[in-house]
């Protein structure tokens, strides 16, 4: 029986989906009723503006009944958006470039989050132990660096840091570790350096770790790290909803950028980050527009580091 289980399951999966490849569109709202919209996000600092915008009524004021659903990462949110389970999603730019290069019908609609652009004061960075011989990104050559996801925005931008500092980026050995496990692995000497984002930068520093590189800053000036996106099908079928979502996001981003205290307060409502930590972390930047030059840079890095063979047409990905 066990012998049959695998092919049988595979067949059922394949058969179950044969006919149903179309995207279910959100039920058209009855007159006077708000559109029900589900958005796939990751429970991290980066998405504070959309939570804040929902709380402030920027979405409901535009007839959008927003339901925020947390997922593990872009690899889970992209299928959700393509299949119509989510109308909008949040993902880092490199994942969106990869998805687009494989032919997935998606398009960015709004900026998500950006680097602060300040070397040494960004919301992500490469850290080493206090007594490590590594003094700069150049010294990372030949060392083991932990990243949360291989072949993505972390390792490509860390390589950019090493390259910029004059080291050999190809000799850096990357290993995949979840952000929460990284500070402990660094303290135990399992890895030579870690690449983390807030709140883990603050956590690692509290354990005595030292920042050696701001990889987002080294990769491109004011790098756009992540964006909100939707399916091309929704853009074609309901351009009005997409337009209202864009406007609500623009207002949310501007509000978050102007009200850091409210941002710090709302982070505690959807993450497990303790209140005393949220007051200390470095917040990212939330500019209104996607920095198109930086998306081009991330594309070039992805091609250079062989994450993909051929760059996608960026004018079909950018909003």
Partner 1 sequence: MKALKVIALPAVLFAGWWVLSAGSKDFYRPPLRTILVAFADTWFGARIADDVLPSLARLGAGYAVALVLGIAAGVVIGRHPAVRETVEPVLEFLRAVPPPVLVPILILVAGIGDLMKVLVIVSGCVWPILLNTVEGVRAVDGVLADTCAVYRVPPVRRMVLRAASPQIVTGARQALSIGVILMVISEMFAARSGLGFTVVQFQRGFQIPEMWSGVLLLGLIGVALAALFRLVERSVLRWYHGQRAAEKQH
Q: Which residues lie near partner 1 (CB under 8 A)?
A: 2-4, 6-8, 10-11, 13-15, 17-18, 21, 73-75, 78-79, 82-83, 95, 98-99, 101-104, 146, 149-152, 173-178, 181, 184-185, 188, 190-191, 307-308
Minimal CA–CA distance to 312: which of 153, 104, 97? 97
Minimal CA–CA distance to 210: which of 221, 196, 222? 196
**Which lies closer to partner 1 via its Cβ, residue 162 or residue 307?**
307
Minimum CB–partner distance for residue 136 and partner 1 (Å)? 25
**Which lies closer to partner 1 via its Cβ, residue 181 or residue 262?**
181
Minimum CB–partner distance for residue 233 and partner 1 (Å)? 12
**Which lies closer to partner 1 via its Cβ, residue 62 or residue 129?**
129
Locus of tokens 């429970």: 43
The DSSP H or E segment spanning 35 is strand 35-41
CA-based end-to-end distance of the chain = 51
**What is the distance between the alpha carbons of residues 281 and 277, in angstroms, rounded to a whole number?**
6
Minimum CB–partner distance for residue 77 and partner 1 (Å)? 12
**What is the distance between the alpha carbons of residues 1 and 211, in angstroms, rounded to a whole number?**
55
Backbone angles phi, psi at 313, to 5 degrees: -70, 105
**Which lies closer to partner 1 via its Cβ, residue 127 or residue 191?**
191
CA dihedral 131, 198, 113, 136 (to 10 degrees): 0
**What is the distance between the alpha carbons of residues 216 and 117, in angstroms, rounded to a whole number?**
8
Minimum CB–partner distance for residue 220 and partner 1 (Å)? 22
Cα torsion 199, 203, 204, 206: sign: positive
**Which lies closer to partner 1 via its Cβ, residue 80 or residue 167?**
80
Minimum CB–partner distance for residue 61 and partner 1 (Å)? 35
Minimum CB–partner distance for residue 154 and partner 1 (Å)? 12
Minimum CB–partner distance for residue 102 and partner 1 (Å)? 4
Cβ–Cβ < 8 Å for 228, 18: no
Task: For 42-172, list the strands marked E by DSSP.
Answer: 64-70, 88-92, 106-114, 124-128, 144-147
Minimum CB–partner distance for residue 228 and partner 1 (Å)? 18
Minimum CB–partner distance for residue 98 and partner 1 (Å)? 5
**What is the distance between the alpha carbons of residues 111 and 128, in angstroms, rounded to a whole number?**
31
**Which lies closer to partner 1 via its Cβ, residue 165 or residue 184?**
184
**Which lies closer to partner 1 via its Cβ, residue 75 or residue 318?**
75
Locus of tokens 């925005």: 153
**Which lies closer to partner 1 via its Cβ, residue 3 or residue 310?**
3
**Which lies closer to partner 1 via its Cβ, residue 4 or residue 30?**
4
**What is the distance between the alpha carbons of residues 87 and 45, in angstroms, rounded to a whole number?**
21
């Amino acid at each position: 029986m066990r012998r049959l289980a695998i092919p049988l399951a595979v067949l059922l999966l394949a058969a179950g989906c044969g006919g149903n490849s179309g995207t279910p569109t959100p039920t058209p709202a009855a007159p006077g009723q708000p559109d029900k919209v589900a958005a796939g996000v990751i429970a991290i600092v980066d998405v504070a503006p959309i939570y804040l915008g929902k709380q402030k009524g920027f979405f409901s004021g535009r007839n959008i009944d927003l339901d925020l659903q947390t997922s593990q990462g872009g690899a889970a949110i992209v299928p959700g958006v393509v299949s119509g389970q989510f109308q909008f999603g949040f993902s880092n730019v490199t994942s969106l470039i990869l998805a687009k290069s494989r032919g997935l019908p998606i398009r960015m609609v709004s900026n998500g989050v950006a680097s602060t652009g300040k070397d040494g004061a960004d919301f992500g960075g490469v850290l080493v132990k206090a007594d490590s011989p590594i003094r700069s990104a150049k010294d990372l050559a030949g060392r083991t660096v932990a990243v949360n996801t291989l072949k993505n925005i972390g390792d490509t931008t860390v390589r950019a840091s090493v390259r910029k500092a004059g080291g050999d980026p190809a000799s850096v050995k990357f290993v995949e570790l979840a952000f929460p496990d990284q500070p402990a692995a660094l303290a135990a000497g399992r890895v030579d350096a870690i690449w983390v984002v807030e709140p883990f930068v603050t956590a690692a520093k509290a354990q005595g770790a030292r920042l050696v590189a701001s990889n987002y800053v080294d990769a491109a000036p004011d790098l756009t790290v992540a964006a909100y996106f939707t399916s091309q099908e929704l853009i074609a079928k309901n351009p009005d909803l997409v337009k209202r979502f864009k406007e609500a996001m623009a207002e949310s981003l501007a509000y978050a950028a102007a009200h850091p205290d409210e941002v710090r307060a709302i982070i505690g409502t959807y993450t497990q980050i303790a209140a005393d930590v949220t007051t200390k972390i470095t917040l990212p930047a939330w500019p209104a527009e996607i920095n198109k030059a930086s998306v081009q840079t991330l594309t070039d890095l992805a091609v250079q580091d062989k994450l993909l063979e051929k760059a996608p047409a960026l004018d079909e990905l950018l909003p």
